[in-house]
Chains A and B, each alone.
Chain A
Amino acid sequence: MIQALSGQLLLGLINGSFYALLSLGLAIIFGLLDVVNFAHGAQYMLGAFLAWMGLQYLGIGYWWALLLSPLVVGATGLVVERVFLRRLQGLDNLYGLLLTFGLALVIEGLFHHAFGNSGSPYPVPELLRGGFDLGFMYLPKYRAWVVVVSLGISLGSWFVIEKTPIGAYLRAGTENPRLLQAFGVNVPVMFMLTYGFGVALAGFAGVMAAPIYQVTPMMGSSLIMVVFAVVVIGGMGSILGSIVTGIGVGLVEGFTKFLWPEAANVVVFVLMAVVLLVRPAGLFGRQK
């Protein structure tokens, strides 16, 4: 019983760190640009697909994909920001939501048309095959890698934004872009790069996910709802909130899968409803 439970909690931690990585990008984009990025799931899928295409057509392996794929996805993010999102600045953020939602449908539709729906497998890299026998469960090396990298990237991003001068500019830009511009900072470019970075994080998560899940055009749409719930529970735009909540939600979900599997995908939303009732701005959000 205890054995089984610790196994489930460890799995929860693995999934949770993955949620944290995905929701982090969303939180950064919302926190700094006030854009609800509904294309996040599609951009995550794009990351996984680029990794797969790289391997399939160009022979680019996992490690290069881990670097290149987020860069390419991030670059598409720059284009989206420059061409579309910038025009919506100052408008109600509902417009950004609709735009990115539409983009997600278009991207997923194109990939569906080109690659069908069953998807393709992506092999676990040689170095990370096999696993550790922990006594209470078998932990595949790759999953351990996912936890370490996700937490590393999440905490690194948090540190950069909260504790460094670059982060200070970013935060200042959100509070008062005009004033920051007056200090000689090119705010539009900064916003563009921020969106690119958030999107690149989604692409990165996609490459991380490719060996675990089947690479399919719809892989993002099944995950994005939970990730949005994580961001809402954590407090829209709170970076630390999204990291802590991501892990927390993973654990709660793991616990539920053990006790009452049928409720596993509802529990996140119940949690969200409860949190919103008690703290409308989310666990780590600031009341405006």
Chain B
Amino acid sequence: MMNRIAFAAALLIAAGTAAADSKVSDDVVKIGVLTDMTGYYSDLSGPGSLEAAKMAAEDFGGKVLGKPIVIIGADHQLKADVASTVARKWFDEEKVDAIADLVSSSTALAVMPVAAEKKRITLLSGPGTTAITGDKCTPYNFHWTYNNWALANGTGREVVKQGGNTWYFITADYVFGKSLEEDTAAMVKAGGGKVLGFSRHPSPGTTDFSSYLLQAQASGAKIIGLANAGADTINAIKQANEFGITKKQNLAGLLVFISDINSLGLETAKGMYLTTAFYWDRDDASRAWSKRFFAKMKKEPTMVQAGVYSAVTHYLKAIQAAGTDNSDAVAAKMREMPVNDFFATNGRIGPDGLHRHDMYLVQVKTPAESKYPWDYYKIAKVIPAAEAFPPVSDKCPLVKK
């Protein structure tokens, strides 16, 4: 008995010294995917984001600097307090080095300061608010896939250029919706267009959009901008068709995912413009990756899910390049290295943590144009990285010199 204890103690000491020598804390690189697993955004992020992170770890060979990569996942239920509690537990007890996805801005803004305090990395793919890389920016945070400014810029500016110069907004009455509406309205005005009015609907909880749509119709605006997301957008589009509004006016979805288009069907969604960071059928690389994703999830990836893969891969590459998983060194490497993969070409990360890469303005195909399952988009314009994202924000304290 005594021998065994001594042996165990010796092992522990040996393990301890090994850990001290190692460049990888706790001898493991652990990445937690914290996202909405069951709620409104679970189809566009959720289990698909977790799978994407697992694929990234597998493709990296399952090991970095000779230490295993472990991916875990949890449901934040779209609640900021749940998100920050899980994050704290992961950092303090479960040796998590980085947290990925964090769909919905409120959960991202709740976790970011916790991660910064513990010096751990956050890789955001799902949330959209510009505050993430604005006044709330942290040195350990990376905002990977899109932000509201990029959506407003892509859809707002381009649609005005193509002649849609009068707008009416149907806006979800909370922070995300209002900020999206304001950003887009600014783009529309900057492009010489006019905003004729807006309706703000309670969210969640609105299922009937007909009265807002009728007001939009009465305004005579050429474009009805939908500054909402998920189920709200889907119902609004469906009912716009029902009331014959799409015959004379066009819809512009400001945050629409391919999962939304899939659930609406092309007959209803056809002709709509939207901005996306990723389309599975864009080139050979995106098709090859998406095919593997499809084999596991039985659906094509959204930009959020593809973004999780890309962000996790870049993080692992940075660990490799830095020769350590020390967050300061890794964050510096991540900013230094360009991103080139199936998701982003010539992506660059600014001092504010925003990943700037090409975005795509796409138009939804008609049923006749769609030749095979998930053949949904025509790429109307590639928006180059320099135009697609805002310049480095001077609101971010990290940027001040």
> What is the interface of chain A, defined by CB distance below 8 A to chain B?
3-4, 7-8, 11-12, 14-15, 112, 116-121, 124, 131, 137-138, 140, 142-143, 212-214, 216, 218-219, 222-223, 225, 254, 257-258, 261-262, 264-266
Contact = CB atoms under 8 A, between A and B. Distances in A.
Interface string B209-235: 011101100100000000000110011
B201 A218 contact: no
A121 B265 contact: yes
Given A4-B218, A138-B243, A257-B212, A214 B263 contact: yes
Interface of B: 38-44, 173, 199-202, 204-208, 210-212, 214-215, 218, 230-231, 234-235, 238-239, 242-244, 259-260, 262-265, 268
Given A131-B244, A257-B212, A222 B260 contact: no
Contacts of B39: 117
Contact of A140 (B201, B204, B215, B243): B243
Contacts of A143: 210, 242
A116 B230 CA distance: 13
A128 to B, nearest CB: 11
Contacts of B265: 121
B263 A222 contact: no
A121 B268 contact: yes
Contacts of A121: 238, 263-265, 268
Contacts of B235: 213-214
Nearest to B247: A138
Given A212-B242, A261-B211, A265-B205, 10 more contacts: A7-B214, A117-B41, A121-B263, A140-B242, A143-B210, A213-B208, A214-B235, A222-B205, A257-B199, A258-B215
Contacts of A254: 211
A262 B262 contact: no
B234 to A, nearest CB: 5
Contacts of A119: 231, 234, 263
A124 B242 contact: yes
A53 to B, nearest CB: 15
Contacts of B40: 117, 218
A131 B244 CA distance: 8
Contacts of B208: 11, 15, 212-213
B200 to A, nearest CB: 5
Given A222-B205, A261-B200, A265-B202, A116 B42 contact: yes
9 contacts: A14-B210, A118-B231, A118-B263, A120-B263, A143-B210, A212-B208, A218-B231, A219-B207, A261-B211
Nearest to B41: A117
Contacts of A218: 40, 231
Contacts of A264: 201-202, 206
A216 B233 CA distance: 14
A137 B243 CA distance: 9
B231 A214 contact: yes
Contacts of A118: 43-44, 230-231, 234, 259-260, 262-263
A226 to B, nearest CB: 9
A143 B213 CA distance: 15
The 8 closest A-B pairs by CB, nearest first: A118-B263, A257-B211, A265-B202, A118-B43, A121-B265, A265-B205, A116-B43, A261-B199
A15 B207 CA distance: 10
Which of A112, A216, A225, A258 is packed against the most chain B CB atoms within 10 Å?
A: A216
Nearest to A15: B208
Nearest to B257: A118
B296 to A, nearest CB: 15
A78 to B, nearest CB: 29
B276 to A, nearest CB: 16
A14 B211 CA distance: 11
A89 to B, nearest CB: 34
Which of A8, A15, A117, A142 is packed against the most chain B CB atoms within 10 Å?
A: A117
B42 A222 contact: no
Given A118-B262, A214-B231, A218-B231, A142 B201 contact: no
A17 to B, nearest CB: 12
Contacts of B200: 261-262
B346 to A, nearest CB: 32
A99 B100 CA distance: 38
B231 A4 contact: no
Nearest to B265: A121
Nearest to B201: A261
Contacts of B234: 118-119, 214
Contacts of A266: 202
Contacts of B263: 118-121, 214
A214 B43 CA distance: 15
A237 B243 CA distance: 35
B214 A11 contact: yes
Contacts of A223: 207
Nearest to A219: B207
Nearest to B239: A212
A265 B244 contact: no
A143 B218 CA distance: 19
A89 B210 CA distance: 42
Given A142-B242, A214-B231, A258 B211 contact: yes
Contacts of B201: 261-262, 264
A8 B211 contact: yes
